[in-house]
A and B are shown apart, each in its own frame.
Chain A
């Protein structure tokens, strides 16, 4: 490729846009099969209770009902990620309001609902715990009495209601506090929030006569669902085909099995296809939301603003099952250490069981919670020392070649540039421009998740190219980004690429659309496949011409060299006539990131791969009467390595900031006595068009040595800093510091009136 890039780095429209704007793109919730039944799940009404009996006899006799299943009808297996503590239905006891107890399939949704109402469940309530403090109190009821017998990855540190305690230890934190001139201690809390994807979780399952089940689902991880279903159904994975037709958003909420297992079990029992779509109430009471947290931070600083030591602890309320908790508690320690040079660290992340819904992963899991604490405290310390918060950060941030908290050597560190450019764009010099108006900054770092990706790339008869990937397109345009890489490397146009994706039988393995990895990993697999296909094309042309293949190159939809050229379409014809067509296989696995293993304990995620760095800045006003916050401007400077398609990276930034501002200002799943008080979209308040400012994106490019064309993961980071940036701006505007999320108008007004520390 002699000239500059033609396809990568360009603002090209995503490949799947036309289907989405015309309503012809099919999503899992749209998917239907002839003779399909409708499934529904009966959920526990008790937070913690012995299950005395589930009587489904009456439900089975109702008109239209074709299958009713309870724990008695399904294999007695425990499944899960790092820790296998879940069952399909509650067995001896229920552990949260919303836990599945039974499921039915009927000819209509109404008949299925009537059947649920006809199932009698007898409970004997048990003492319950609804927050981390209660769960950790001496003598607290155990959520899982049999926890020592559960299967778990061996490194987890578990004890009673704690299902992991991950730790980073570096230097000598006590000595670091002695060296400090001032030591600051603060506490923070954050609320439980939902991913808020607009398409509910949905699955359609059907069995064939050979005992194979096919499931169409809007999962982000078809290969993980294949394995989970294999465990649950006690079948080999080769009997389970998972296909993702289309996904209406995921943000981490569609990583783990949602309704696929119920659809498969009901379909097997009924002998007909079964579809299940979750309701809004199920989403807000029994999905995989972001954990609420408590955080304690103790930071030692010299008079001139150098951080000497940090001790931090974060407790995740992971709900009744571990879900993503053990991993999230690990990742959190890296966020809590922050993108700062701190010689002495003791950071702990705890995942704690309570009688609430099972929490999971939400875009940058642990990021916003831990960053809110770290970056709020940075401003609190700067204020106390009389330092400018930007200067205080610049004194302590990591730079090229520095060590991360676990000893990884950091490269392509664009943090200083991000901070300076975000600050300049927001007009940092004028931090409090008028009364009750203020500006806030926050910065952070994040990972580009590893895991492997494979692609097949096939030359079509017309000289265009099919990209076959196991990754699902969840909305980020990551597969358009990967297709741009492929088009670039094959000398074709983006419009020449068609994508087939996410079918566990037909597509190669992919670790899945998670962790900001899709464009990065699939893009790299495309580079490998393109190199292979170019070799094959050149060999074919070389054989035609009787020249050495090494003298030929692929350019502009042709193989050229030796003074000749031949079009890809002609090579496609030749290859089909002689050799079964051309297919290339490309794979990628992110190289491991070296770290100091002595610094970590019970840690599932000890280093950030190809880390990204970012800074956010917001300009807002606070109404002193009502406490209401009005957002004027929002700036993000994000080190993306290389901007594969600036339009969709801006889209990730704008959308991630919107979600982050929701968590900052209005969103919270509110529990009282184990019940969700706001399981609807009127009371669970996500931002609308009227709530958001314009977001200005500054794309900083410090190329990753391993990313395709230098790209780093971009999807999750924009979600991390908004809560801290807002908290810092509110403090700048009116001088009150809110240390809990969300920063509601009520909390701000109370703090302004001096009535309570929120």
Chain B
């Protein structure tokens, strides 16, 4: 089988991987690089647990070929906390009780991060819109949206409406 040599920039670090051309970014993250914080479920872009940031935009890694990510900037959940400090979104998810089983949470946090960077003046409707592609079966989304609003206030000041 033919293999592609890819250089992928993930969480600010460059990884050289050798992979079959049909493999997805999700396969490479989880199986080759051991970055299992990015989750897998439907593999059909329907649930959002595999969400990562690609050049700052939230995308489903399960339908993205690894080869499409050459030369682009990938952020996974493992890249968020820095120096042992949780990112404000992560902290808000912990403190607001937004985490239950947690399987959807990495994807939720990354979708929220992409949204807040685009819309620092986050509104509840905007948050719900931004997270509409991330299924959560445990929480009913309420404490998740509250956590995102809390983080928005911390990150961008008191502008967030609830």
Contact = CB atoms under 8 A, between A and B. Distances in A.
A690 B131 CA distance: 9
Nearest to B90: A21
B46 A680 contact: yes
A30 B140 contact: no
A277 B40 CA distance: 10
A22 B103 contact: no
A456 B96 CA distance: 30
B93 A199 contact: no
Contact of B143 (A195, A279, A650, A688): A650
Contact of B145 (A279, A475, A680, A689): A689
Given A22-B77, A682-B46, A690-B129, A247 B142 contact: no
Given A21-B109, A23-B78, A249-B138, A29 B39 contact: yes
A198 B135 contact: yes
Nearest to B78: A23
B37 interface: yes
Contacts of B41: 198-200, 280
Contact of A654 (B34, B105, B142): B142
Interface in B117-148: 127-129, 131-145
Size class of the contact patch on chain B: 35 or more
A250 B106 CA distance: 18
Interface stretch (A9-17, A337-345, A668-676): A9-17
A32 B33 CA distance: 12
Nearest to B102: A20
A122 interface: no
Contacts of A692: 140-142
Interface in B2-53: 30-31, 34-44, 46-47, 49
Which residue among B47, B86, B142 has the maximum number of chain A CB atoms within 10 Å of its CB?
A: B142
The B interface is mostly helix, strand or loop, or mixed, namely: loop
Interface of A: 11, 13-14, 16-27, 29-30, 32, 195-200, 246-251, 277, 279-280, 474-477, 647-648, 650-651, 654-659, 680-682, 686-690, 692, 694-695
A198 B39 contact: yes
B100 interface: yes
B77 A251 contact: no
Contacts of A197: 101, 103, 137
Contacts of A25: 102
A664 to B, nearest CB: 13
A694 B127 CA distance: 14
A17 B103 contact: no
B63 interface: no
Given A475-B100, A689-B128, A23 B140 contact: no
Nearest to A277: B40
A248 B103 contact: yes
A30 B106 CA distance: 13
A279 B128 CA distance: 27
Interface in B53-80: 76-78, 80
A195 B138 CA distance: 10
A481 to B, nearest CB: 12
A688 B135 contact: yes
B158 interface: no
